[in-house]
Amino acid sequence: MSPKTLYDKIWDAHVAHEADDGTCLLYIDRHLVHEVTSPQAFEGLRMSGRTVRAPDKTIAVPDHNVPTTLDRADAQTMTEDSRVQVAALDANAKEFGLHYYPVSDVRQGIVHIVGPEQGWTLPGMTVVCGDSHTATHGAFGALAHGIGTSEVEHVLATQTLIQKKSKNMKVEITGKLKPGVTAKDITMSVIGETGTAGGTGYVIEYCGEAIRDLSMEGRMTVCNMAIEGGARAGLIAPDEKTYEYCMGRPHAPKGAQWEAAMDWWKTLFTDEGAHFDKVVTLKGEDIAPSVTWGTSPEDVLPITATVPNATDFEGGKVGAAERSLDYMGLTSGTPLTDVTIDTVFIGSCTNGRIEDLRAAAAILKGKKIKDGMRAMIVPGSGLVRAQAEEEGLADIFKDAGFEWRLAGCSMCLAMNPDQLKPGERCAATSNRNFEGRQGRGGRTHLMSPAMAAAAAITGKLTDVREMM
Ligand SMILES: CC(C)[C@H](C(=O)O)[C@@H](O)C(=O)O
Ligand code: SF4
């Protein structure tokens, strides 16, 4: 048998049918659903008189639209559109008998944090969600695709997805990371290297010592942004850390079923000599704490750099950089550490897990945020929030001057009340810095939780290594 990549193995195990042109019908193990991309899909089912094929494999949770303030149960805090979407998810989950975590449930949170936390996401699975950051689940060695609303309807009705196989790409991070450098810096640096189209047509497998050394949470941060690098999905082979994370989770297999699952999981690695169509290698020790300066995730630089000149780029990127610099209100040649900020957002499916909060707390302990700074910490789920309170992190945040919020997508995107005003500049731990992403006219600098915490204290983009 010819050697296979991890992607090949999971793909082959899920192909239910292959047409002559290579189009495949893939069996789907887990379908995650949120309120934004599902209402029309359920409506479609109803119109055609169909039901959900596998409600026991379909998990729903509202996250994008929900306010994160303590008064969110009061419907007045939501816009009409948001209220309608969340109410539709409530009704659809009930009507079709799905696993559901409503806003009132402590397990509610961002869909990509809830899936792994509850043990729905497991190695070797196919996982889909009507959301591009479904790539996050690849951290478990699961093939996780973001899908569109018509595909959501297709998966609801059939528990299968029509797909063509992508090419294999390997991203290897060798060696060790230096102090102050995190999974977020890895994933941003990879995109800085490959560009936002570098992964187009590929499924990326991340490997190498620096990836192995990451916790499951860090691996989720890396895979989360595979999509910003253009890839169809990101994957990391499961290992002891993966099994340990999964064991005992509410929906993970138990007893003999666990043993059977482990037999399969242990086969989930890329065989010696398997072919990759594209290979990118970065040295772990070369990666620095990084920030974005522009309006694309590929506009990334080490914090020690200066704001670039548009003429530093080539081709179409010159005009794009000019526009980015103009939108971001930045002057070429300014040291990044001189850029002042007025808002800090720590949260999102990229960096809203307990380790992210611990990393922020380690910087914020005993400190105060800069006068006039608006800073919020939004845990990725109600359970992350509860754990942070138990560990005393919430007190550190509140004492420092941060708002301590309820779980949701929050200021990652402007679909709920947490938004930037025009001209406001935010240090954010999320994954997209597009124009208007956090609110019309708002300016976003992406970075790690520790870097965002450091910026909250100084009021400027800051090299976290100086505060360690
Ligand atoms: C709203 C949703 C469809 C969207 C996505 O697909 O990623 C959102 O989660 C985002 O991060 O932009
Ligand atoms: S936290 Fe942000 S990136 Fe993640 S699902 Fe929500 S909106 Fe999308």
Reported as a single tens digit per residue, the pLDDT across 293-309 is 999 999 999 999 999 99
- Distance, first Cα to last Cα, the chain: 51
ipTM attached to this prediction: 0.99
Which atom of ligand 1 lies at the shortest distance from residue 146's CA? 6
Q: What is the Cα–Cα distance from 352 to 369, expressed in whole angstroms?
A: 20
Q: What is the Cα–Cα distance from 441 to 307, expressed in whole angstroms?
A: 20
* Reported pTM: 0.98
Reported as a single tens digit per residue, the pLDDT across 323-338 is 999 999 999 999 999 9
- DSSP strand E in 68-226: where? 99-100, 126-129, 143-146, 160-164, 167-174, 202-207
User: Exposed, middle or buried: residue 99 (CB in 10 Å: 0-12, 13-18, 19+)?
Assistant: middle
Reported as a single tens digit per residue, the pLDDT across 187-232 is 999 999 999 999 999 999 999 999 999 999 999 999 999 999 999 9
Identify whether the C-beta of residue 12 lies closer than 8 Å to the C-beta of residue 147.
no
Using CA positions, which residue lies closest to atom 2 of ligand 2?
Answer: 412
Which atom of ligand 2 lies at the shortest distance from residue 350's CA? 4
Helix (H) or strand (E) holding 234: strand 233-235
pLDDT exceeds 90 at position 238: yes
Q: Which domains does the chain have, with CATH numbers?
A: 6-166 (3.30.499.10), 167-238+270-286 (3.40.1060.10), 290-467 (3.30.499.10)
H helices present in 339-425, as ranges: 348-351, 354-364, 382-390, 393-400
- Collapsing DSSP to helix, strand or coil, 282 comes out as strand
Return the ligand number nearest the Cα of 129. 1
pLDDT exceeds 80 at position 75: no
Verify whether ligand 1 is closer than 6 Å to residue 413 (CB atom). yes
Dihedral of CA 198/226/186/126: which sign? negative
Task: Classify each residue of 452-468 as buried b or exposed e, where b means 16 or more C-beta atoms within 10 Å of its C-beta.
Answer: bbbbbbbbbbbbbbebe
Verify whether ligand 1 is closer than 6 Å to residue 52 (CB atom). no
Identify whether the C-beta of residue 133 lies closer than 8 Å to the C-beta of residue 142.
no
Q: What is the Cα–Cα distance from 391 to 402, expressed in whole angstroms?
A: 17
Q: What is the Cα–Cα distance from 418 to 374, expressed in whole angstroms?
A: 11
Tokens coding 139: 């951290």
Ligand 1 center to 250 CA (angstroms):
27
